[in-house]
Amino acid sequence: MESCIARGLRISTRQSTLSPWKAPQVFSRVKSTIATSKVPPTPAKTTAETSADGISWPEYLRIKKSKRTWQTVVTVPCALVGLAAGGVYFGNLDTDPLKPIMGIDPFFFYGFCTVGCAGLGALIGPTIGASIWRYTHRRVLSHIDNKDHEFFRRIAKNRVDVSLQNPTQPVPDYYGEKIGSLHQYRQWLRDQSKYRRKALLPEE
């Protein structure tokens, strides 16, 4: 019992010998350590995180422009293939110049059909080009689809009302298909504003 009392007196004397200026410093260090341990470090924002869809607007417009390029590039060979296929098929048919087809000379009729095959190939070309483009960008298709929805919403909001359209002067790029960069988008906004002012305030 006496040993316990003596030990308690030693601890109390040690605590009393501590400098009164050191105790607040110890408590402040403990508080700062606890505060820093509770607050996790905030990660730095990257360029990709600026968009909720995980893809920035400049990158989206660049990809959108590449889709248009794919459609144009594939349309030309598809039209040529259609023209060649039509020429081979209709060129090998037996024709009788004395028997018109629907009142048209057989040579002219088959020629029109061959040109129609070329036009059909030109119509199918953009669809094939878009399919190839979607396959090459399959990893980001979900982000692109979300951006498409937001992009067309902005286009519909800022373009000129169709009721103000002049038959001789249509609205420039009504669907925003030619927009391939932020600079072109700003230029499109200026063109829409200029067209709207001319339609609402015609010069006398």
- Asked if 93 and 84 count as a contact pair (C-beta separation under 8 A), the reply is no
User: Smallest Cα–Cα separation from 122: which of 69, 70, 74, 79?
Assistant: 79
* Band (202; pLDDT cuts 50, 70, 90): low
**pLDDT score at 31:** 46
Name, in order, each residue with C-beta under 8 angstroms of 72's C-beta and a sequence gap of 6 or more.
Answer: 129
For 88, how many CA atoms within 13 A lie in the half-sphere containing its CB? 5
Share of the chain above pLDDT 90, in %: 40
Residue-wise pLDDT for 77-116, tens only, equals: 999 999 999 999 988 887 777 788 888 888 888 889 999 9
Provide mean pLDDT across the span 117-141.
Answer: 92
* Residue whose structure tokens are 């408590």: 27
71 close to 133: Cβ distance less than 8 angstroms: yes
Torsion (CA) 14, 20, 26, 29 in degrees, nearest 10: 180
pLDDT at 37: 43
Looking at the chain, how many residues does it have? 204
Question: Any residues with CB less than 8 A from the CB of 122 and at least 6 apart, and which?
Answer: 75, 78, 79, 82
- What's the pLDDT at 53? 57
CA atoms within 13 A on the CB side of 79: 11
> pTM score, two decimals?
0.59
With H, G, I as helix, E, B as strand and everything else as coil, classify residue 56. coil
